[in-house]
Every structure is written in structure tokens, then in C-alpha cells.
Structure 1
Amino acid sequence: MGFSKVTDSILYVGVNDHEIDLFEGQYVVPNGMAYNSYAILDEKNAVMDTVDIRFVQEWLDNIAAALNGKKPDYLIIQHMEPDHSSSIAEFLKVYPDAIVVGNAKTFTMMQQFFGADVAPNREVVANNGTLSLGNRTLTFVFAPMVHWPEVMVTYDAQDKVLFSADGFGKFGALDVEESWACEARRYYIGIVGKYGAPVQALLKKAAALDIAKICPLHGPILTEDLGYYINLYDIWSSYGVESEGVMIAYTSVYGNTRKAAKLLADKLTAKGCPKVVLTDLARSDMAEAVEDAFRYGKLVLASTTYNGEVFPFMRTFIEHLTERNYQNRTVGIIENGSWAPMAAKVMTGLLENSKNLTWLDTVTIKSALTAENEAQLDAMADALL
């Protein structure tokens, strides 16, 4: 891939990965992933983060091309996840005099991953610490639990660039054209969604900076209308409602619960609901289902009773929500049970610790829809509008 210009003195030296099928062992990435790394050229030269070890040679070639015969003086590590750090040792074999820059937690994790001697030349920085490269000074701002405890971001005041670590990242390689918001939302909710409060804290710190470009560790460099991206991050991390609409998530064994969910969806559409998302949890990408639950302000859970409990895909879905601090939503429940309906009790129990949920009246189906159930679904549709 070589390198490309971010500014006259900041060059992109990252790589695209089209070999990966599951990111972090669970997220489907049909358009691959980008592992971003940057070279900053000054009196002293710095490289920002490394890449997945499978692409180390391509990355080293990119660095060599970008530096054009010069050597990097620093390797700055903002985040120790292996997709960003696993090439540190190989980098230091080529550039043994380079100083590795990180915070105390960075080096603790570095030793855990790679051994005590991986970075003999190191500079440990404090929160709001600085590093002069000559004409510019980099400032390091700690961002613990966005989404690991050692994370820090880096600000270059000269070019007004924020190197945002995993913040503002997305799924997808950089040689694929696609909408930013969809895959950035799935990435954020899936990976960072649990840590809304730390992200809010970071956004407040970023608001004090003059930022012209955001350079994340995944996804494209953001250069225009930064307010659009920052506003979405503010909504996501405060667990606000991004889009008006209703998500109906269902599981069904013989089709009767699916019929009820579809009937509710049809009633909502007929009544003018701006958006209705109907999702079969057994057949949909779970990460996309979770994304939709956080995107919209209203959620209906429809499930059959199964083994005196709730259908497994529904349990998994709700656990994904609660793990990510699901809150501030309106929730309706449709349960089905031929002799001992239990799904509603189980689902409400799973969500009992979620904050600020407004509950609608439960609709209970016994085997198949009745006229009474249809009237109850009509009332639920009205309550959701």
C-alpha cells in the first residue's frame, strides 16, 4: 500500500486486512479491517502504533518508504491490544535505537504480552505529558477504559490532529467505500458500548482542543464536518436515542411468535411509525441486532417460553444489551407459552438492573394469536408511537 499524506508532515503507514473473518473473535467483518499507523516527520521522527503481526513486513516497508532513508526516533504506543501492538518487537529489531513511548500501564501490559526486554529504550509519560519532536510538541491525554485501562490519545497542536486510538474507529478496510456511520456504530456499540462514561469524559477533554483532523486506529481519517462524528459519539456514549423508531426482536419455534411480531410491525407501519426494524434473532448478525437496539428509542422483545425459560437467542441478545449498559428506553414484551408462559418473567428479570426503562403492558399468547391478542398488539402499537 505504501504511504499517503494526512498533512505535509504526517503520513499514513497502516495496512488493510482482507484475510480476517471475525474481528476480536466475534464480529463479522465482510469488508475487512484497517490497522492504522502514522509517521510524524520532524527534527525527530515518530511512528504512532504498530499493526497486526500478520502484516508486519508490509507495515515496515510503508515506514521505510515514508521516512525515505531516515530512522524513527520514537515509537508511540497508545493502545496495547495486539492488533495495534503485536509488531513492537519486530519494529525494534529493525530500529533498535528507537525509544518506545507509553504510560506506566502500557509497559506493564507490554511485559505481559511480550516479555520484560521488548522495549529497553523507553519513555514513560504522565497524563497531559508532552514530547517535543522539534517544531511540534505532542500532548498525551489518558483515556482509561476507552476501552482498555492503558489507552491514551495524542494531540498535535501544530497540525491540529487528534490521534484518537480506538475512538472514532469503524469496521472495514480503507480500500472499500461504505457509509461511515453504520459500521462505526456497530463497532462502537459492540466494542466500546459498555464504557459510555469514560467516552463522555474523553469527549469533554477533546472539546477543549482545536481539532482539524481525527486519526483513529481503525477506519478512515476524519477531516470534514467533525461535529457530525462527535455528535454521534456523544449520543452513543450517553445512551441517547439516535433515530426515532421501534426495533422488534423476536425468536420463534413454529412461527406463531414470529406472526405476532410481524403483525405488530405492520400495525406500527400503518400508523405512521418513522422506522420499524424487525429482527429474527436466530438468523441475524447478533452485533447488528444489538446495534439497532441502541440506535432506536423503543424496543419490543417477543419470545416463546423454552424449557421453562426464554429462547436461548433471546437470552443471549438481552445479555449483550445489559453488558453494554442498556438504558433510557421504552420496552414492550410479547411472550408465548402453551401451558406455562415464563418468557416475560425471565426477560424482565434479565433487564431488572437496566436504568430508566419504561415498560409497556405485556402481551401473552397461549400457542397462537387470538382476537384479544390482536387488540392488545394494536394497543401496544399505539403506546409505541
Structure 2
Amino acid sequence: MDCRLSIMERVHWIGVNDRETTLFENFWPLDRGVCYNSYLITDEKVAIIDTVKFNKTEQYLSKVKEVIGDRKVDYLIVNHMEPDHSGSMKALVAAYPDMQIVGNKKTFDFIRGFYDITENFLEVAEGDELDLGYHKLKFFLTPMIHWPETMMTYDQTEKILFSMDAFGGFGSLDGGLFDDEVNVEFYEDEIRRYYSNIVAKYSPIVQRALGRLGALDLNVIAPTHGPIWRTSPKTIVDYYDKWSRYEAEEGVVIVYGTMYGNTAKMADYVARIISENGVKNVRVYDASKTHLSYILSDIWRFKGVILGSCAYNMNIFPAMELVLSKLEHTGLKNRYLGVFGNKSWSGGGVSAIDAFAEKVKWERIGSSIEATYTPKDEEFKALVKLGKEMAQRVKDNPL
């Protein structure tokens, strides 16, 4: 095995890059690709930690062989059963039929259900240990980050936390494997997009897990997506801590749905007011054009949110309905909210956003602004007031 793909002398990265899949979970765009990280420990016993998606199985098995040659695999440790990490399990079992599959009680229901594998299970519980020889592994159960069976594996010898999907992100590994080899700012955007769309709903659980893991001595955090954190594992922990506390930066995200441009005109107008009042981070999104994942990522990043919609069949514009639904589902807290929109003979868009506001309990900035047919002086004056008040709030109170 090329030493450049080793984390430590006996701990190897055997992951793969996927630049062919266009949608993660058949929904989230992968413009920058994604990687599936798997790890192999060579000791008196050989252990693999998670596998890779089924479209990369052949490449994956060749990597295993490259590392261990004719040795057998003693253990497959299953931290997470989502098919992008378990998809090569059946092929691995076929190649190493005596291999024991290590997981918690809930893991095995998933294995039976997905792959009809029913034997060679080794059940572990919270705090249990597995001795590989030199390496001593310890298991931490972390249910609902973000599936019921998820757990993490801690190498007590090398102080490596194999953290499954936690601390991961979108983006292929383009040469660099480690945080000191890549542009972390690039990955911060993709990690936040991953967090805000995949993990965000479970933020309170993330906070509890961070508290439990806080006592660990960590040299390396090795997730199943994104770079391996060997120089500054604290960086990725701090990201997760910040986002799971719903903390945000100074900035405003304006999201709107429009058919013929009148609601868009209102969005551009209030954006200019906010900018004139000293806020540099202003993001304006047409919900019909920009994928939801990018919108949510910026809403998770910035403190101010202004939502607008035209009326559509006496309801909200469909693209904005999806935005509201996902935002409510994530449980995001502590944002400032402004509301605007447009109608012709009947309303529906603004009232739907008002109903959303009642559910999420974000702090409202001003009253809802709804134009009839086209925005006129009265609405533009109200947008000036909204823009000024929003700018003042996010400048005075960034979290």
C-alpha cells in the first residue's frame, strides 16, 4: 500500500471518490463530487471500518487487497448502515466469508433487511472494546446522528475517532486527504451544506454527543465523507458545535418565489436597502432556480432571513412551499425573519409564510408586506423600513 494513503503506520484510507453521481440521496446536488471514506487497520487482527457505495465496489475491493494481500479480514466494523457506506458489504462478505461483522443491536436489523446477511455478527454496546493486538478500539453509540443505529469507533491507541457521517461533508478528495493538504474554506461550505441538509434536524442530539465525546483525547477525526482531520480536529468539532447551537454570522438571506417578476423586484429592492445600511453578506435566491440545499446552507450561516412569495392558486408558490417545509423540518432556531410578497385577485403566499413564522417562532422584523398586482410606493416604503430594521438587528446582534 502506498504510504501516502496511510493515516498512521497501520491505519490506512481505502476510500473512493465519486464524481459521477449527480445527486446525493437522489436529491442533493454533488457539483463538487463526494468521497466515501473507509478505513483499514492492519494488526494481529485486520479490521475494516465501514465500506463504500455499491457503484465503487470493484475499486474498493482492489484497495483492500492492495493493503493486506492474502491476509484475511477478521472484522468489519459497521458505524453506519446507509447504503453509501454499507453498499459494498455483501461483496466484502463474499470475499472474506469468515469475517465477523461488528455493530450494535440495531445495526443487525438493517443488515438483515438490506442485504439478507444473517450470521457472523458480533454485537457491541456503549463503551465496549475490541482488541486487535496493538490497537484497542472502543465503541460509542450515537443513535439519530442521523440514523437509529449510528455509532462511532475510537482507536484508543492512535487516538483516532472514526466518526461515520458526523464531521463529514460533500466534496471529493482531489489529491489531498487531510485538513492540512486541502483548502479548508472550500470544505467548510460543503460541510455546512451537508450539515444543514442532512444532520441539522438532530442538532440537539449532536450537542449531547459532543458533550460525551469531549473527554476524548483526539489526534485525528476520520469521517466517512470529506477530509480527514489530523492537524486540527478541533476545527471540525467547533463547526459542529456552532451549527448545532444555531449560531450565525452577520448577514441576510432573501429567498423568494415569483412568476412574472414582481416579487423578485421587491426582493432586489430590500436587498439594496440592507446593503446600503452596512451589511455586506446579502444573499438573494430565486427558489425556483437555486437548489434548496444551497439556500438552507446560507440560512444556517446567516442571522437574518427574509422570505417572499407571490400567490399561486390561492396558496404559496410551490418552490417556496418546499423551502418552508424543509426549514420547519430542520428545527432551526434563533433567526430574524421578514416577510413580503405579491398577489393579484387573491392572496395565499404571504399568509402561508406568516403561518410558518408562527410555527418556528423566529423574531419578526416589521409587519408582513404584500403588494397587489405590482409593488407601489406604499410597499417600497415598507421595504425600506424592513431593510433598515433587519440590517440594524443583524449588525447589533450576530450570534
Query: What TM-score results when the alignment is normalised by the length of structure 2?
Result: 0.92
For structure 2, the 5+ residue unaligned runs are: 176-181, 392-399
One-letter amino acid of the counterpart of residue 318, structure 1: L
Provide the rounded CA distance (Å) in 1 between the counterparts of 2:45 and 2:329: 44
Contact 2:80 2:150 (C-alpha < 8 Å) held by counterparts: yes
Provide the rounded CA distance (Å) in 1 between the counterparts of 2:255 and 2:90: 46
Provide the rounded CA distance (Å) in 2 between the counterparts of 1:257 and 1:36: 44
How big is the shift at 1:359? 4.4
Partner of 1:51: 52
Aligned to 1:75, the other structure's residue is in SS state strand
Contact 1:99 1:121 (C-alpha < 8 Å) held by counterparts: yes
Aligned to 1:353, the other structure's residue is in SS state helix
| CA deviation vs aligned residue, 1:78-107 (integer Å, no higher than 9, x gap) | 101111112212111111111111011000
Partner of 2:397: none
Kindly indicate whether residue 254 of structure 2 is the aligned counterpart of residue 248 of structure 1. yes
Residue 276 (structure 2) aligned to one of 270, 283, 286: 270
How big is the shift at 1:355? 4.0
Partner of 1:204: 211
Aligned to 1:6, the other structure's residue is in SS state strand
How big is the shift at 1:342? 2.9
How big is the shift at 1:302? 1.2
One-letter amino acid of the counterpart of residue 138, structure 2: T
Provide the rounded CA distance (Å) in 1 between the counterparts of 2:42 and 2:197: 35
| CA deviation vs aligned residue, 1:219-269 (integer Å, no higher than 9, x gap) | 11112222222111112112221x210001011111111111101111111
The answer to which of 220-229 and 257-266 deviates more is: 220-229
Q: How many pairs are equivalent?
A: 382
Say if 1:355 and 1:127 are closer, same or farther in 2 by CA, change over 3 A.
Answer: farther
Regions of 4+ moved over 4 Å: none
How big is the shift at 1:356? 4.3
Partner of 1:168: 167
Provide the rounded CA distance (Å) in 1 between the counterparts of 2:285 and 2:76: 45
| CA deviation vs aligned residue, 1:271-318 (integer Å, no higher than 9, x gap) | 111311011111111110111112111100111111111111111111
Contact 1:100 1:119 (C-alpha < 8 Å) held by counterparts: no
One-letter amino acid of the counterpart of residue 86, structure 1: G
How big is the shift at 1:2? 7.0
One-letter amino acid of the counterpart of residue 62, structure 2: D
Contact 1:2 1:62 (C-alpha < 8 Å) held by counterparts: no
Say if 1:355 and 1:224 are closer, same or farther in 2 by CA, change over 3 A.
Answer: farther
Residue 215 (structure 1) aligned to one of 212, 222, 225: 222
The answer to which of 160-169 and 59-68 deviates more is: 59-68
How big is the shift at 1:186? 0.8
Question: Residues 180-195 of structure 1 correspond to what in structure 2 (within 5 A)?
Answer: 180-195=187-202
Partner of 2:101: 100
Partner of 2:16: 15
Provide the rounded CA distance (Å) in 2 between the counterparts of 1:293 and 1:137: 41
Provide the rounded CA distance (Å) in 1 between the counterparts of 2:232 and 2:301: 21
Contact 1:298 1:329 (C-alpha < 8 Å) held by counterparts: yes
Provide the rounded CA distance (Å) in 2 between the counterparts of 1:41 and 1:306: 60
Partner of 2:241: 234
The answer to which of 67-76 and 316-325 deviates more is: 67-76
**% identical aligned pairs:** 36
